[in-house]
Amino acid sequence: MVRLDLSGKRALVTGGMNGIGRAIVATLREAGAEVFVADVEGDPPVDVTDETSMQAAFERAAPVDIVVANAGTVRFAPLDRTSPADWERVIAVNLTGTFNTLRLAAAHMKPRRKGAIVLTASTNSFDGEAELTAYNASKAGILGLLHTAAGELGPYGIRVNAVCPGLIRTRLTAGHFAQPQLLKDYFRHIPLGRGGEPEEVASAVVFLASPLASFITGAALLIDGGQMAAKFGTWSDDHARFVDDHWELI
Ligand SMILES: NC(=O)c1ccc[n+]([C@@H]2O[C@H](COP(=O)([O-])OP(=O)(O)OC[C@H]3O[C@@H](n4cnc5c(N)ncnc54)[C@H](O)[C@@H]3O)[C@@H](O)[C@H]2O)c1
């Protein structure tokens, strides 16, 4: 029987106070891991953009076996109205924050010759969704970090993988989920006909962090209900209806 047992493992999760991160924390704990949260809304607050704050978080979690770089933020604006300040903030949290987390994870794990790191990328790592210039660039950049880190850290027994969620119901996407017509159109392109829940991302993260994924490194796993596989649209009013935030066959 396949068992996911992380008892005795120590994990650090950035952005673990809300949404996807909170579900990752809960699922890691269910699997038996001891989990430390690094979040601006945590106690103590930890800012992934701040080196000193991050160093302290890693000291508290040491010796760390699992690191999840998940903290992220978003700003919506057309390209020509994206302010330099918004660009810098999104890049600072999503890309530099992931770099800071990854760099410290590597420094802590290399001497122990083991570890598993999971990064939260996005379908936006691949897609140019409108009004998300900085966000898309930050998430594409995370794949650059992923590939480089997987290559460098593999010889030290450290695996590095990423999850690429599609539209997941969190406060970050509350605006989307408040608009049924927008959801209806968005989910036309999703073979499973709906958005995702944070727990559905968390289970993939915990799998990638676990020994069940012992030969997986450098992978970017889409968790998007098939969105990226079937971009030309799956659902239409001819054969289906949209009820309670999901498409179903008539
Ligand atoms: N929700 C989605 O549809 C979706 C899709 C793809 C990827 N993602 C990614 O998933 C991750 C989690 O997003 P979410 O939807 O759960 O959002 P969320 O806002 O619910 O959670 C993000 C968490 O990150 C924390 N955070 C923000 N800035 C921080 C900083 N500087 N330092 C430390 N912590 C910080 C927040 O306090 C919050 O707890 C993000 O990287 C996001 O880009 C989300």
Q: Which residues line ligand 1 (CB under 6 A)?
A: 14-15, 17-21, 39-41, 46-49, 70-73, 93, 97, 120, 122, 165, 167-168, 170-173
pLDDT at 232: 81
How is the chain classified by DSSP, letter by letter? ------TT-EEEEETTTSHHHHHHHHHHHHTT-EEEEE-TTSSS---TT-HHHHHHHHHHHPSPSEEEE-------B-GGG--HHHHHHHIIIIIIHHHHHHHHHHHHHGGGT-EEEEEE--GGGT---TTBHHHHHHHHHHHHHHHHHHHHHGGGTEEEEEEEE-SB-SGGGHHHHT-HHHHHHHHTT-TT-B-B-HHHHHHHHHHHHSGGGTT--S-EEEESTTTTT-TT----TTTEEEETTEEEE-
Domain annotation for the chain: domains and CATH numbers: 10-178+194-226 (3.40.50.720)
pLDDT at 136: 98
Does residue 2 register a pLDDT over 90? no
Ligand 1 pocket test target in 25, 27, 40 with most atoms within 8 Å of CB: 40
Give tens-digit pLDDT for 3-40.
789 999 999 999 999 999 999 999 999 999 999 999 99
Ligand 1 atom 1: the closest Cα is on which residue? 168
Give tens-digit pLDDT for 78-118.
999 999 999 999 999 999 999 999 999 999 999 999 999 99
The average confidence (pLDDT) of the chain is 97
